[in-house]
Structure 1
Amino acid sequence: MQPPHISESIWWLVSVAVTVVYLITLVPLMPNRGYRIRVSLGPVAGALFAAASGLVKHMGPGELLPLYASVVLGVSLSLVGRRREMRTKVADMAVNGRNRGNELSRATQVQVMAVLLACMAVGLWFTEAAVGRVH
């Protein structure tokens, strides 16, 4: 089954929208300015990684944006229902540093990994379809 064709301009809009969703959902969970800045740089790091990967693999934005959008959206979706735990654990981490007491619960870790893997699979599906249309 092939995914529907989505134009590059639509992928740009989707990427901007999921970046906004990411910032709206994650930045408020952070306990201080330093953490908020680090979390805000996540999409920037993702965009830089995608750009570098595209240069190495000779892929254009139309091929990379589906994967970027799916991963960034996956981060936000992976925390659905886990905001309270995330806020509590990160606040503790800001005060006490990383330790066993402020690790995310196993259920949250499993949820994060499952959602990220599912979103990456969807992103790869769209990316593979875009690559197939280009080559």
Structure 2
Amino acid sequence: MHAPAIPLYAWWIISIAATLAFLIFFVTLMPTRKYKIQVCFAPVLGVAFGVASALLKDIKLEELLPMYSTALLVFPIGVMGHRREIRQKILNRSMHGEHPEDKPSRALTAQLTLSLVILGALMAWLTFT
């Protein structure tokens, strides 16, 4: 089965929407100004990686934008429903340093892993078929 033929302008819209969704989700999640600023660098790093890939590996935008969009959405989808847990763990870490009991719950780990697998497969399907 082949991926749908989505035009380039639509991928730009999808990529911008994915970036906004990521930023809205994580900036509102982060408990401190420091973490809010740090999380804003994720899309910037994604764009930098994309530009470098396009220049060095000659990857077309038609392939790059689906990769960027799906990779960026892995994290909000992967942690959705666990906002309270994540926020509390970040607050604990910022106030008391890193502790072994601050590791993520099994449910969060499973959801994030499943999100990575499903969206990774979607990215491969959209990009390579």
The one-character-per-residue Cα deviations of 1:36-79 (angstroms, maximum 9, x if unpaired) are: 01111111111111221222221121110001100111111111
Name structure 1 gaps, 5 residues minimum. 130-135
Q: Structure 2 CA distance, aligned partners of 1:51 and 1:15?
A: 14
Alignment of 1:36-115 (within 5 A): 36-115=36-115
Q: Which residue of 1 aligns with 2:4?
A: 4
Q: Cα distance, 1:114 vs. partner?
A: 1.4
Name structure 2 gaps, 5 residues minimum. none
TM-score by length of 2: 0.93
Identity of aligned residues (%): 36
Q: Structure 1 CA distance, aligned partners of 2:10 and 2:97?
A: 41
Matched length: 129
TM-score by length of 1: 0.89
What do you get for the CA RMSD once the two structures are aligned?
A: 1.2
1:122 paired with 2:122, answer yes
Q: Which amino acid aligns with 2:14?
A: V
Q: Cα distance, 1:104 vs. partner?
A: 1.0
Query: Once superposed, which parts of structure 1, at least 4 consecutive aligned residues long, lie more than 3 Å away?
Result: none
Q: Secondary structure at the match of 1:98?
A: coil
